Structure 1
Amino acid sequence: MIRKAFLSQLEQGLAGLRPETVREILADYEEYFNDALADGRDEAEVVAALGSPQKLARELKAQTHYKQWQEHRSFSNLSRVVVSIAGLGVLNFVLALPFMIYLLFLTIGYIVSVSFLLAGLTVVLAWGSHGLFGWPQFSSDGSGWYIGKHGDRGAEMAWSSDRADHEGQVWIDEGRLRLNPDEGDRFELRTRQGDALLVAKKRGKLLIDASQPATRELVQVDGGEASINGSAIRELTLHEDSGDVFTARVDDDKRLVRLEASSGGSELKFAASGPKGSLSMKDGDSSLEITESKIALKDGMDHIQIDALPGLSLGMSVLVVGLMLLLGGALGLVFCVWLTRLTWRALVVYVKYQIELVSGKDRENAAA
C-alpha cells in the first residue's frame, strides 16, 4: 500500500468528524510521509509502521472527541469519547456491556425515585387539601339536606330508583324541603322533637298525616307539593311503591350523618358519626366498604382489602404512607445523583487512561 491509498482509506475512516479537522489530520500525515521520505525511508515502510488506516482512524477519532470534551465538558461529548473508545477493540465492547447494564439500573433508579417522590407529594397534598380526610359535610344553606343540583328546582336529593318516572320527588329550595311523591309512594319524616310526619300520594291526591297537630302545621301545600322547613327535620325516609327505600338523617349540627338506600339487589349505606364513620355499598355479589380502618372491595370471587396501619386510622395511614414515599423518593434521588457523580468521575479516569494508551501507541509508531 502506497501513501495515496493509505491517506484515502484514512480519510474514509475519519468520516463523521468536522471537515476542517479531517483536513488538518491528513495534512499532518502528508507532512509525516514527507519527513520520512526525506530521511531515506520509502512509503511502504512508513505505511507498515503506521499500521491499518482504519484502526488509526478510530484512534484519531477517539483522540479528537477527547479534545472536544476537554474544551467543552458535557455529557454528549463524553458519550462520543466512550463510543469511540468502545470501537477500538472487542475487549472494550465486553467491558462496555456491564457498564451499559449499570446505566440501565441507574436510570431505573431515577425513574422509581422520581415516581415515589411525586406519588408521596400527591398523597400529602391531597390529604391536606381534604382537611385531614374528615368526613364530608353535605350542606348548602345550613339545613344539611343539600346533596345535588337539579336544574331550576334548587338542590335535589341524589336518589334514583329503577322507575323511569322517578324524578324530582324531593329537593330543597331556599332552605325548605319540597316533597312531590309519585303515585303510591310515601315520605316518612321525623322532626327534631321526635314527632312523626307522613306525606303520601294516593289517587293523585296529596295526603298529609302527623302525630301532633303542631307538626302538621309545619307543612305547607302549594300546587300539589308539600313544603317543610328543612332545619326542623331530622330524618327523611322515602318508601316507593316498587319497594325501593331511601333514608337520610342529619345531626344536631345539621350535617348529614346517615344515608341508606336500597333498590332491587343494590344497597348503599353511609354513616359519618364521628370517628366511626363508614360507607357501605352492595350490588348483588359486589360490595364496597370504607371505614376508618379499612377499604374492602369484593366482586364475586375477587377480594381487595386495604387495612390501616396498626394503631392508626385509614386517613392517618395514608398520610404516613405518603410521607414515607416522599422521604424514600427524596433519599433515592439523592443516592442516584451521588452515584451519577461517582460514575462521571470514574468514567473520566477510564477515558483518560484509554486515550493515554492510544497516544502512547502513536508516539511509538512515530518513533519507529
Structure 2
Amino acid sequence: MTRKDFLQQLERALSGLKPEMVREILSDYDEYFNDALADGRDEAEVVAALGSPQKLARELKAQSHYRQWEQHRSFANLSRVMVSIAGLGVLNFFLALPFLAYLLFLTVGYIVSLSFLVAGLAVVVGWGSHSLFGWPQFTSDGSGWYIGRHGDYIGRYGDNGAEMALSSDKNDHAGQVWIDNGRLMLNPDDGDRFELKTRRGDSLLVFKQQGKLKVDASQPTVRQLAQIEDGEVSINGRAIRELTLREDSGDVFTARVDDNSRLVQFDASAGGTALKLAANGPKSSILLNDGGSALEISESKIALKDGTDHIQIDALPGLSVGMSALVVGLGLLLSGALGLVFCVWLTRLTWRVLVSYVKYQIELVSGKDRENAAA
C-alpha cells in the first residue's frame, strides 16, 4: 500500500469526526511520512509500521471521543467513548454480558424504588386526607338521607354527612322520606309502609291505603308524634331511633341512628341485592351482596368475592385496615426512598468504575500509538 492509498483510506475511516479534526489528523500523518522518508525509511516500511488505516482510525476516534468527554463529562460523551472502545475489540463479549445484565437490574431497581415511593406517598396522603377532612364519613346530622324507590342509587356521601337514598333529586321529593328542618317527612306509596321505633322503644306505623295516609301506634302518646299535613306525615326526627321501609315489591330498607342522631346502621334488600352498613364504632363495616358477588369492608379486612374469584386484604395484627394502610404506606415510602438512595449510590460507583476502565483503555491505545510512531 502506498502513502497516498493509506491516507485516502484513513480519511474515509475517520468519517464522523469534525472536518477540521480530520484535516489536522491527515496533516500530522502526512508530515510523519515526510519525516520518515527524510530519515531514509522506505514508504512501504512506514505503512507496515502504522498498520491498518481502519484500525488506526478507530483508535483515533476513541481518543478524540475521550478528549471530548474530558472537556464535557456527560453520560452521552462517555457512551461514545465506550462504543469507540468496543469497536477496537478490546471489550470481551462474555464480560460485557454480565455488565449489561447489571445495568438492566439497576434500571429495574430504579423503577421498583420509584413505584414504591409513589405508591407509599399516595397511601399516606390518602390516609392523611381522611384523617384531616374526615372523608368518607358514615354519620348524619339528620339533614340529608332519603329512602325511596324512584331513583338510581342506594347511598352517597354529601357535605352534611351520610345520605342514603334511592332518589336522585332531593328537591322534587321523589323519595318516600326526607328531612325538612329537622322533621322526618314520610310519603309512602300505596302498598308500602314505614315501621318506626322511638328512642324509648315504642312502635309507629305509617302507610298509605287507597291513596289515604294512615298512622298507627302502640301508644296514644306515640301517635301524637306524627302529624299529617298536605298529604305527608311529619315526625320529629330526633324522637326516632330506627326507620324501616317495606315496599310492596318485597324490598326492605332500614336505617338506625344513635343518641346523637348519627347514622350507625343501614340495611337494604332490593332485587336480590343486599347492602349492610355499620357506620360507627370499632366494628364498622359495609357488606354488599349481589347474587354470587359480595364486597365486605370492615375495620379488619377488605374482601371481594365474585363467583370462584376471591380477593381479601387483612389488616395487620392488632391494627385496623386504616392504620394498616398507614403502616404499609410508610413502609412503601421508606423502602422506595432507601431503594432510590441505594440505586443512586450504585450509579455513582458504576460511573467511577466506567471512567477508570475507559481511562485505562485509552492509555493503552495511546501507548500503542507511541510505540508505532517510534518504530
- TM-score (ref. length: structure 1): 0.90
- Written as runs of structure 1 = structure 2, the 5 A alignment for 1:1-368 is 1-89=1-89, 91-131=91-131, 136-139=137-140, 142-143=141-142, 145-146=144-145, 157-159=164-166, 167-368=174-375
* Partner residue in 1 for 2:149: none
Deviations 1:261-292 (A, max 9, x none): 01132111111341111111111121112222
- The 8 Å contact of residues 251 and 271 in structure 2, kept in 1 or not, is answered as yes
Amino acid at match of 1:127: W
Matched position secondary structure for 1:182: coil
Amino acid at match of 1:343: T
Amino acid at match of 2:351: W
Matched position secondary structure for 1:81: helix
Deviation at 1:135, TM superposition (A): 7.2
Please give the alpha-carbon distance, in whole angstroms, between the structure 1 residues aligned to 2:300 and 2:342. Answer: 35
- The 8 Å contact of residues 156 and 170 in structure 1, kept in 2 or not, is answered as no
- The 8 Å contact of residues 138 and 145 in structure 1, kept in 2 or not, is answered as no
**Structure 1 stretches (4+) deviating beyond 4 angstroms?**
132-135, 147-150
Deviations 1:151-198 (A, max 9, x none): xxxx963237xxxxx952222333333222222111112222333222
- Give the share of equivalent positions with the same residue, in percent: 75
Q: Specify whether residues 173 and 16 from structure 1 end up closer, same or farther in structure 2 by C-alpha distance, changes over 3 A only.
A: farther
What is the aligned length? 357
Deviation at 1:134, TM superposition (A): 8.5
Structure 1 segments unaligned to the other structure (5+ residues): 161-165
Structure 2 segments unaligned to the other structure (5+ residues): 147-154, 168-172
Deviation at 1:105, TM superposition (A): 0.5
Amino acid at match of 2:138: Q
Amino acid at match of 2:291: G
Q: Specify whether residues 2 and 171 from structure 1 end up closer, same or farther in structure 2 by C-alpha distance, changes over 3 A only.
A: farther
Deviation at 1:326, TM superposition (A): 1.2
Please give the alpha-carbon distance, in whole angstroms, between the structure 1 residues aligned to 2:226 and 2:188. Answer: 14
Matched position secondary structure for 2:165: coil
Q: Specify whether residues 30 and 218 from structure 1 end up closer, same or farther in structure 2 by C-alpha distance, changes over 3 A only.
A: farther
Q: Specify whether residues 43 and 221 from structure 1 end up closer, same or farther in structure 2 by C-alpha distance, changes over 3 A only.
A: farther
Deviation at 1:353, TM superposition (A): 0.6
Please give the alpha-carbon distance, in whole angstroms, between the structure 1 residues aligned to 2:8 and 2:183. Answer: 96
Amino acid at match of 1:33: F
- The 8 Å contact of residues 116 and 329 in structure 1, kept in 2 or not, is answered as yes
